[in-house]
Structure 1
Amino acid sequence: MLPQHLWALISSAVSVLAATTSTKRATICNGHAQFCSRLYSNVTYVGAHDSFAFSSDPLALARAQEVNITAQLQLGVRLLQAQAHMNSDNVLHFCHTSCLLFDGGSVLSYLQTVKTFLDENPNEVLTLLFTNPEGLSPATVWKPIFDAAGISNLTYIPPSLPVKQSDWPTLGSMIDAGTRVVVFLDSQADGPEPVNFILPEFSMVWENPFSVTNASFPCSVNRIHGPLATEDHIYLINHVLDKDIIPIGSGVLIPDPFDASTTNGVTSILADANGCVPLGGNRAPSFVLLDFVNIGEGFKAADMLNGIASSIKQQCRQRRRFSHIEQQQQVGGSSDEGTAREGMAMGFMDMDFGFLLWLVGLI
């Protein structure tokens, strides 16, 4: 029989081993080991503007992306932006301005696609930034959809609001806690029916101007709420270049795919970011919002803003994964978009005809 002191030593060692093995900590966060110790607010993320409005059809004038949600995420997008409207069937859809122009399908279908990605990529922190122009209730409209998609229990809930730039948690701690989805809403999140995980955007995030047609992207603080000082907000740059196709009156702006390779180039993105740095507490932007994220060098620019050299191996891996997605789409389409994707082709045709009618009405 072992002496009592040896039993005590063995028992202590087993306890330490059990505690060590039961506490698994993330060692890679959003693709990089060094990100695990960085605050959420000290990382620059590439965002997809109007992420739902994807089409490979160049005649789909209202499109803002060429590739679907899954492809955007596989490429490295870590902020998805979308605008919601209640459609004629009283179902919340992602559409821009009007669902007659571009109907991206139901918010539920969209979030189910996002949930699939999150399940398959447990070490990724993702931000959802949704526009709520109709002022719909976070509690009675938005939250039930997040619940149904299975995302509510993955969201980050701050201990108090608003959250200062320096008070956000690290990516590693968010991943370890399983609270790796940050949800911002631009309207009503701080209204009479708040939800603890749906955060008021402009109380914590400021943006530079949008609907820009000037390729030099002059920076100014365009949208912000108190009580935090500007430098205590994180910020988003709308690095989205529009084209005025009918320069009469207020004009008609559409995303510009023809200059996307230049707009989404390193030179243009870094110049835009550097122009905003003095307004953002001498910090890089947290979010770089782009149209046509599969074109240009947006991810390389983000790596540079994060102080990380782009990995050639990682870029090749992304291209291979993206090629696989393209092949799936060519062979009957991917199933991850659910019912939303089934209606997209008709939506594109309807959108083009409706868009032309809208233009005629404006002239």
Structure 2
Amino acid sequence: MRGSIGVLTLIVLLLLPGCVTPTVPSGSQVDEETVQYEEPCNGLVVLCSRSYSDVTFPETHNAFSTHEDGIYYPAANHLTGLLPQWEAGMRAFMIDTHYETLGDERIETVRLCHGDDDRGFSPCVYGNVDAEAWLIDLKSLMEDSPRDVVTLLVENYVQPDHLKAVFEASGLYDMVFFHPMNSPWPTLGEMIDDGTPLVVFWEQSEDTNHPWIHDFLTHSWTTNYA
């Protein structure tokens, strides 16, 4: 993954948590579903009735690859770690999963590292973050902000079963939304009410054995600038 801060573009509206809840002008027509929520979703009440595909989430690229997390040149993308990113309004995060050492493919060695394996060694030599620990921190932030929907985009270099095991160990797997193909996305309010406010994509192809991981290019697209 390249760049430092991106936007997961599922549609055109950028709305940050913490914005003021809009008032409805008198005499205007309001969908009944819009007014059934009193608490905001991702910062705005109006977003509760919008489908996931009709909301844009600000995203950090290689969110784990920070000086704060002990990763420096040539692999660092940010100075500050997950908490400052969250407090700045980020609700989508790109992460790269690797084995700490090439050839040692165990669940216990799954790490977040920036780079690829084409040079004959793991990019984790430039610095790495324990994947389970990072996901546990994300889960804690989500539990503290239960009205927010979150997105993860994974550039994955580990076995899918190992990736699932790490999500299960962190406690995040139970919060993942499974999106059936060719069906409409639910609203943010529905995802929050159902206890599935986390959507996970990866950059591999669709995997019917792991329907909790959604193929990024099936559901979205990139521009020439991202």
Question: If the TM-score is normalised by the length of the shorter chain, which range does it land in?
Answer: 0.7 to 0.9
Contact kept, 8 Å, 2:111 with 2:131, in 1: the verdict is yes
Residue 152 of structure 2 is matched in structure 1 by: 128
Q: Does residue 212 of structure 2 align to residue 197 of structure 1? A: yes
Which of 48, 55, 65 pairs up with 1:43?
55
Residue 31 of structure 1 is matched in structure 2 by: 43
Q: CA RMSD in A?
A: 2.2
Cα gap change, 1:152 to 1:26, in 2 (>3 Å): farther
Can you give the 5+ residue segments of structure 1 that lack an aligned partner in the other structure?
1-23, 210-216, 218-237, 239-363
Contact kept, 8 Å, 1:46 with 1:79, in 2: the verdict is yes
What is the deviation of 1:154?
A: 0.8
Q: Does residue 187 of structure 2 align to residue 170 of structure 1? A: yes
Distance 2:47 2:214 in 1: 23
Aligned-residue identity in percent:
28
Q: Does residue 126 of structure 2 align to residue 101 of structure 1? A: yes
Q: Does residue 171 of structure 2 align to residue 150 of structure 1? A: yes
Say how many residue pairs are matched.
178
What is the deviation of 1:142?
A: 1.1
Distance 1:123 1:99 in 2: 34
Per-residue CA shift, 1:113-140, capped at 9, x if unaligned? 11100111100100010001x3x332x2
Name the aligned partner's letter for residue 155 of structure 1.
Answer: V
What is the deviation of 1:60?
A: 3.5
Residue 303 of structure 1 is matched in structure 2 by: none
What is the deviation of 1:149?
A: 0.7
- The correspondence of residues 28-107 of structure 1 with structure 2, limited to 5 A, is 28-55=40-67, 60-88=73-101, 90=106, 91-97=109-115, 98-103=123-128, 105-107=129-131
What is the deviation of 1:25?
A: 5.3
What is the deviation of 1:202?
A: 1.1
What is the deviation of 1:27?
A: 2.4
What is the deviation of 1:62?
A: 2.4
Distance 1:162 1:198 in 2: 16
Name the aligned partner's letter for residue 81 of structure 1.
Answer: M
What is the deviation of 1:81?
A: 0.1
Q: When the two structures are superposed, what TM-score results if normalisation uses the length of structure 2?
A: 0.72
Distance 1:131 1:58 in 2: 18
Q: Does residue 125 of structure 2 align to residue 137 of structure 1? A: no
Contact kept, 8 Å, 1:186 with 1:201, in 2: the verdict is yes
Per-residue CA shift, 1:24-47, capped at 9, x if unaligned? 956210011111111111111110
Distance 1:26 1:118 in 2: 19
Contact kept, 8 Å, 2:71 with 2:127, in 1: the verdict is no
What is the deviation of 1:59?
A: 6.5
Can you give the 5+ residue segments of structure 2 that lack an aligned partner in the other structure?
1-35, 116-122
Q: List, as ranges, runs of 4+ consecutive aligned residues in structure 1 with deviation greater than 2 Å.
A: 24-27, 56-62
Aligned partner of residue 81 in structure 1, secondary structure: strand
Distance 1:124 1:154 in 2: 12
Name the aligned partner's letter for residue 159 of structure 2.
Answer: S
Name the aligned partner's letter for residue 202 of structure 1.
Answer: L
Distance 1:150 1:46 in 2: 24
Contact kept, 8 Å, 2:65 with 2:71, in 1: the verdict is no
